[in-house]
Every structure is written in structure tokens, then in C-alpha cells.
Amino acid sequence: MDALFTSTGSLLAIMAITIALALFLQRFRGFKMLGPALLAIVISVILANLKVVPFSAEVYGVVAQYAIPLSIAMMLLSVDIKAMLKLSKKPIVSIALAGLTVSAVTVVAGIIFAPMIEEGWKVAGMFVGTYTGGSANLTAIGYGLGALPTTFAAANAADYVIGVPTLIAMFAFPRFASQSKWFQKVWPFSLSNEELEGKHGELDEDPFLQEKKWSITDIAWSFAIAFGITALASYLAGFMPESFQGAARILLITTIAIIVAQFGPVKKIKGNMDLGLYVALFFLTTIGYMVNIKAFVGSTLAIALFCFVVIILSLTVHALLCRLLKIEYQYVVIGIIASIADGSTSALVAASANWKNLVSLAIVLGVIGMVMGNYLGFGVAYLIKYIIGG
């Protein structure tokens, strides 16, 4: 049976409707927990397997070629290195340890699990990316490594099954920590109430996925700069060995975007993160469209177990190291969440715990994690490939 819609115009329309629906559903608590990225994939998988859209189409490749590089460039235009340098050392150490422990644990676990999983070394790199800087890194690394659609979908599904309960626990943890005498005895390092109080920082002027004052000029410049960065990075990547060009392209986009983001006029552009996510969602819908559930289910269990081992061991090692370094637990919590999810989610945890003075810090930590994620993810992926001979 042929799909109901097959023309390029109709498929683009369905992609846009799917994205709009995924973003609209974020106003409801249950769907907000899933996040727009996973919702877009799930809706797309359902549409494809109900034969509403085809499993393959030429337009999917066109979207994949441009959406992810463009979205990465847009998101990284929000990086402010000066703001990062003003941070105290302890939160920086916390987020850095998060990335390093995830990388080390994934290398060890990847040597065991990667041979059991199709494209296992690519999955390892994707997990390092997502647990260092969020799901945007998972998508970027998977794209750069040329991962199959089923690999994308299985990695996202495993991340949801294992990652969401971890986030729920992190939301509950501040209350437990503040009331548990046992925890306070085991981890006596804490910020005072005075240090936790304060006004939200300037970064709240451009809140992620929330209402804001936004001009068409901001949107135009964001697209123009991102296209320019993508074109330059693609040209430079062409000089690399063919087998490394995909990864090189993403790494060059990351580096160039961070440099461009430091110029004053670029810092004034609002909505880069929102636009970047919107563009990335087009790519994620095509991933969902290309997933045949019958072929997908069998590959998920091993990836989920791999994901579980990475999260549990990474959290354990990270916590032990932070405890040895006497880092206040509030910094550790927002660092972990900034790594597992993103800065906005970490800021939400800080706000819900009434750690008002840490809200802007949480957002900055999320940006640092996102920057680290691409470099560490590709590094770990190729290291595991070299070790196991993938």
C-alpha cells in the first residue's frame, strides 16, 4: 500500500504541522515532560507506520543536509564566553567533570556494548553528546557520523526511557537534600540561603521556548549568519578526508559559531535557541518518517541497557568526584541537569527549588555543556570505533 501523501509540497506541510503540534503540546504538563523533540519523532513514526507518509522520499535527504548544520549554528550564536569566564570555579568544575565522567564511562561501557549494537560506536558518541549538553548534541553527532534513522530513533527512545526518570528524580532532589539530615551529614557542603537568593540574571531576557519580544530583523540575521557559517564550514570540511567530512563539518560549525557569537551585534540577536530548535525539528520529523516499527523494536533493548549503564555509572562517578572536591551540592545538581537535559531545564529546577541566584548560572552551564558535547561526542565515537574495529 502506497502512502497517502507523497509529493514534496504535502510532505513539507505535514512536517510543519507535526512541529507545530509538538510545540503546542508543550503547554500541557505530561507532554512537556516528553519535550518537543521526542514528541515530533513519535508523531512522525506513527504517521509513517500508518502509511500517511512514505518511509523514504527525496525531500528527507534535502532536509537532513541543511537542517542540522543550520540549527547548530543558530543555537551556538547564544554562547557568551565573557559570561562564562565570570563564573566561579566550582560550577565550571562540576559541568566539566560531568562531561569527562560521561566520556570515560561511555568508553568503557562502549567497548562492551557497542559490538552488540548496530552502529554501536555511533550510539556511544551520541550518548556522550546528549549527556554532556542535551538532545541537540545527540542529533548533531548522529548526523555528523551518518547514523541510520533507526539508530537515531532507538537512541532517542532509550534516552527517554532512562533519562526522563532521572530528570524527575533531579526535580525532587533539592527538597530531599534540604530536609534529609543523613544527606547533610554525608554532603555537608551547601550554599547559604543568602547565596541562593537574588534576582534572575540578564539571560532571562531571552527565555528559551517562552514568550518574548522578537523582531523579524532578529530572525533574518539569525538565518543569514547561520547560513554563512554553514557554507564556510562545509567548504573547509571539503579539504578533510572523505570519511571524516561529516564530523569535521559539525565541529567547524561549532567552532566558527562560537567565535562569531562573541561580536557585540550578534549578542543582541534574540531567539537563536528557539529558531535553532525549530529548524532541528524538521530533521527529527524525517527521522521518524524513516522508522519502520517492525525493524526498530528489536534493536532498542540493547541500546536502552547501554544507556542505563552510562547514566547510572556517570552520575555515581560524577557525584563521588564532586564530593571529594567539596563542591556545594546545588552546583552539582544544576550541572548534572544542564548536562543530561539543557540549561533551560536546569534553570527550571533551580527556580522550582527557589535557588533564584542560580537560574542564570544554570542556563550558562547548559551552553557550556552543549559546546563540550560535540567535541567529546565525536572524540569518544572515533576512539571506540578504533578500539573495537567498527
pLDDT tens string 30-75: 777 667 877 887 898 899 889 999 988 889 888 877 887 888 788 8
The pTM assigned to this predicted structure is 0.66
Residue 320 pLDDT exceeds 90: yes
Task: Give residue 199's pLDDT band: very low, low, confident or very high (50, 70, 90).
Answer: very low
Task: Give residue 177's pLDDT band: very low, low, confident or very high (50, 70, 90).
Answer: confident
Per-residue pLDDT of 99-154, as tens digits, reads 999 999 999 999 999 898 888 899 999 999 988 877 778 888 888 888 887 788 78
For residues 7-18, give the mean pLDDT. Answer: 94
Lowest mean pLDDT among 98-102, 190-194, 327-331, 377-381: 190-194
pLDDT at 179: 81
CA dihedral 41, 350, 324, 340 (to 10 degrees): 0
Name the nearest CA neighbour of 284 among 190, 124, 166, 147: 147
For residues 188-203, give the mean pLDDT. Answer: 66
Residue 184 pLDDT exceeds 80: yes
Per-residue pLDDT of 238-252, as tens digits, reads 888 876 777 788 788
Helix (H), strand (E) at residue 137:
helix 135-144
CA distance 94 to 331: 7
Burial of 185 (0-12, 13-18, 19+ CB in 10 A): exposed
pLDDT at 164: 65
Per-residue pLDDT of 264-288, as tens digits, reads 899 888 888 788 888 888 987 887 8
Task: Give residue 200's pLDDT band: very low, low, confident or very high (50, 70, 90).
Answer: very low
What count of Cα atoms within 13 Å lies in the side-chain half-sphere of residue 49? Answer: 14
CA distance 270 to 376: 28
For residues 8-22, give the mean pLDDT. Answer: 93
Across 249-267, b (16+ Cβ under 10 Å) vs e yields bbbbbbbbbbebbeeeebe
Name the nearest CA neighbour of 128 among 358, 314, 353: 314
Comparing 134 with 312, the larger pLDDT belongs to 312
pLDDT at 53: 92
pLDDT at 1: 61
Cell numbers 536546569: residue: 346
Cell numbers 572524540: residue: 379
Share of the chain above pLDDT 70, in %: 88
DSSP annotation of 242 reads G
pLDDT at 36: 80
Task: Give residue 313's pLDDT band: very low, low, confident or very high (50, 70, 90).
Answer: very high
* DSSP secondary structure of 296-341: HGGGHHHHHHHHHHHHHHHHHHHHHHHHHTT--HHHHHHHHHHHHT
For residues 284-294, give the mean pLDDT. Answer: 77
